[in-house]
Structure 1
Amino acid sequence: MTATRYDRRMYAVMNDRRAAAAYATMTRRRLLVGAHVALTVTGVGAWIGTVFGPGLGQAVVVVVVMFPWILLTGLLNGSTCGLLELRGRMLDERQLVERDRVRALAHRITLWLLVAAVFGAGAYGLLADAPLRAAVTPVLIGVLAAHWMMPLWVAGLRVRDDLGDDES
């Protein structure tokens, strides 16, 4: 199938190297992923607090966290050259294999996160002598957010450094 105008535009956006200095090294990408994880946890936690807690004070945190979270998401997508965002027809065979590896690893990590969440919610129900349903919904929302973001985080950590012009 041939590439559409949308495919070509997204390919150009995802392969725009103007911000490459921000994710040029493994250390920088690890910092980006760590900051993205922290902002995701903060934003999702604040959103859960807004929905399930008293008042709307946490909504301000969600709004404040949103802009840097979007910026870091774009940087991580740029660091992977759109590995997870581009359609398969825009990726070469190596990229398709890498995307499958990233998704498989993210799936395994999320599986263990789900196992931990089940045990954590069960322990909360036993230790706090509270109904389990009090912990289940917020925990499920947190795990859903992690499931959604895990492939991007894994891809960001797996990207190799670009070789410079002087390195062959």
Structure 2
Amino acid sequence: MTTTRLTRYDRSMLRLMNDRRGQAWYATAARRRLAVAAHITLTVAIGALMTHFFLAEGEPLWPVAAMAVLLLPWMVATGIINGATRGLLELREHVLDERQSAERSRVLARAHRMTTLLLAATAVALLIAGGVDGNAPKAYAAPLLIAVLVVHWVMPLWVAGLRAEDEPAEDEPLEAGALGR
């Protein structure tokens, strides 16, 4: 951390992001991958429901209710990933130490590259679909671009969750016989 004074917000976020009570949810790499996979799945499901709601004509409000129900586990998965990364993306830059700041830069760079590839693939898919159909698929352009925007927003969180490392094991107490009397 730098010598900048921490605000009350900074201190409360630092305390929240370093709270180890939920550590069992992300203690292993497999659990962190599962949390990221669940978050991706929930994000895709909410996006699909949102797309269905806006593109379907005369549909009842069931997609909105389903989105509201899926939002709670999505927020829990977000919290699990933030806990696993100790708030790498949520804390302000001046709160992070040098290692965390460097890791944040690596995560953001990798997420940026992945999102750039996704945007390029989306543009190519729209151009191909427009070329085959003879007309750009206007009805799907907006939902697809919104989906890419959402992925752009959460990609750093996914990358950080996948790159998070296990907590160092606590030192085991030395036994009296192990001291080599």
TM-score range for the pair, normalised by the shorter chain length: over 0.9
Q: Secondary structure at the match of 1:18?
A: coil
Partner of 1:60: 65
1:34 counterpart = 2:37: yes
- Taking structure 2 as the reference length, what is the TM-score of the superposition? 0.88
Given candidates 7, 10, 13, the residue that maps to 1:10 is: 13
Tell me if structure 2 keeps the 8 A contact 1:125–1:135: no
Q: Secondary structure at the match of 2:87?
A: coil
CA displacement, residues 96-145 of structure 1 (integer Å, 9 cap, x when unaligned):
00000000000000000001111112222233455332221011011001
Q: Indicate the larger mover: 152-161 or 120-129.
A: 120-129
Amino acid across the alignment from 2:156: P
Given candidates 117, 121, 125, the residue that maps to 2:126 is: 121
CA displacement, residues 131-164 of structure 1 (integer Å, 9 cap, x when unaligned):
3322210110110010000000000000111121
Q: Indicate the larger mover: 48-57 or 82-91.
A: 48-57
Q: Secondary structure at the match of 1:162?
A: coil
1:135 counterpart = 2:128: no
**Post-superposition offset of 1:41:** 0.4
Partner of 1:70: 75
Partner of 1:89: 94
Aligned pairs, how many?
A: 167
1:166 and 1:11 map into 2 onto residues whose CA distance is 24
2:41 and 2:31 map into 1 onto residues whose CA distance is 15
Q: Indicate the larger mover: 146-155 or 124-133.
A: 124-133
- Taking structure 1 as the reference length, what is the TM-score of the superposition? 0.94
Q: Indicate the larger mover: 39-48 or 104-113.
A: 39-48
Equivalent pairs: percent with the same residue? 47
Amino acid across the alignment from 2:69: V
Tell me if structure 2 keeps the 8 A contact 1:124–1:135: no
2:89 and 2:73 map into 1 onto residues whose CA distance is 20
Given candidates 43, 47, 52, the residue that maps to 1:49 is: 52
Amino acid across the alignment from 2:72: F
Tell me if structure 2 keeps the 8 A contact 1:121–1:139: no
CA displacement, residues 42-62 of structure 1 (integer Å, 9 cap, x when unaligned):
001111221232223311221
Partner of 1:155: 160
| Bigger radius of gyration among the two | 2
Gaps of 5+ in 2: 173-181
Cα distance, 1:125–1:57 mapped onto 2, change above 3 Å? farther
Partner of 1:79: 84
